[in-house]
Amino acid sequence: MTDDRLASPHLSIVVPCFNEESGIDEFLRRAVLAATAVAGQNFEIIAVDDGSSDATWDIISSRSCDLSNLVGVRLMRNHGHQIAATAGLAVARGERVLLIDADLQDPPELLLMMMPIMDKGADVVYGQRSSRAGETRFKLLTAAMFYRLLGRLTSVPIPHDTGDFRLMSRRVVDILLAMPERDRFIRGMVSWVGGRQVALPYERDARFAGETKYPLRKMIHFAVDAITSFSTIPLRIATWVGFMSAMIAAALVVYTLVQWFAGNTVAGWSSLMATVAFFFSIQFIGMGIIGEYLGRLVQEAKQRPMFMVDCINRGGVSRPLGILSADMRPSERRAAVERAFGIEAAPTASAQDINRRTGTDA
């Protein structure tokens, strides 16, 4: 038990799952093979069930009986992909952490290429899509437009054509978990951290099974979260549009007065109503932009837990996790996870040891 208590796994693989019963077995098979090739048996797979309505959790629980490296985390309800990924990162104990989806569009086998890059000093190795099999033209076009727009709006350089598929060092993961915001855009947050981040171009595969969990509505919501999390330019645009509207209104007033003195007034309301509708629409657009930012401030001010964990499953045994928060200190978070694992509390490390290992305050 000493080794289990004291040693962190060399590698953690975090995989958020939502209704993935048709593909989770194949993902686990390939992920185990890839992890074994780079880390032997010194790895863990954190499968986070994000409130699935199918048999995803039953499959994870069943597989954990014969797969000692698998840890199942069940959230109390559906929180969304970004929060589910954060919950997995909070549970992961590895010195290196791979964040990947369960649909196998991002091949787990790329670990064999990512690990040597990190051995050379990279803090983050992120997958950059050179092609995307199985995607519609509409999805490809909107994705390209989103990344280009985001690049122009944000001061943080966020690489184009990337998702959340990336290998991160322990230091980067702890910094990421220390960020308290609840409207999370993980790929942007990782870019904000900085350090040495290296791209790994790859060809993205078609989805192995099931349906996409990002319909148009969720894509739009995700894009709004990304822009409002990393840019205040929309607020400035609202201000600029307001000044332009005021200038147009002043010009219309001057035009109206000139026409009135010239005796060219025309009875009717069509042009008046069109003008009023135009200015009201501008006002409502500006109010909507301000409302998006204000709503996020309200949610942050409530300080509700970012996620709620129902239980954690290891070795086929489910245990309640208790309180786990992304903003816990690394030592507190690890102690909470190990208690849920049924592992005795390890001797408390010194502040110097923790700082040296994580690069953050204990």
The DSSP-derived string for 91-112 is: H---SEEEE--TTSSS-GGGHH
Domain count, the chain: 2
Same domain, 36 and 107: yes
pLDDT at 236 over 70: no
Q: What is the model's pLDDT at position 73?
A: 94
Q: What is the model's pLDDT at position 362?
A: 36
For residue 267, what pLDDT band results from cuts at 50, 70 and 90? Answer: low
Mean pLDDT of 284-297: 73
**C-alpha–C-alpha distance, residues 160 and 353, integer Å:** 37
What is the share, in percent, of the chain residues with pLDDT greater than 70?
66
Whether 115 is in a domain gets the answer yes
pLDDT at 345 over 50: no
Same domain, 54 and 139: yes
Identify the CA nearest to 88 among candidates 305, 303, 299, 312.
312
Mean pLDDT of 130-134: 71
For residue 324, what pLDDT band results from cuts at 50, 70 and 90? Answer: low
| Number of helices followed by number of strands (H, E) in the chain | 13, 9
What is the CB-side half-sphere exposure of residue 111 using CA atoms within 13 A?
24
For residue 140, what pLDDT band results from cuts at 50, 70 and 90? Answer: low
pLDDT at 5 over 60: no
**C-alpha–C-alpha distance, residues 274 and 151, integer Å:** 35
Question: Which of 302, 320, 344 is where one domain is finished?
Answer: 302
**C-alpha–C-alpha distance, residues 333 and 196, integer Å:** 26
pLDDT at 24 over 90: yes
**C-alpha–C-alpha distance, residues 196 and 178, integer Å:** 19
Rank 202-206, 209-213, 289-293 by mean pLDDT and report only the highest: 202-206
For residue 38, what pLDDT band results from cuts at 50, 70 and 90? Answer: very high
User: What is the domain extent for residue 262?
Assistant: 233-302
Same domain, 237 and 207: no
Round the average pLDDT of the chain to a whole number and report it: 78
Same domain, 313 and 298: no
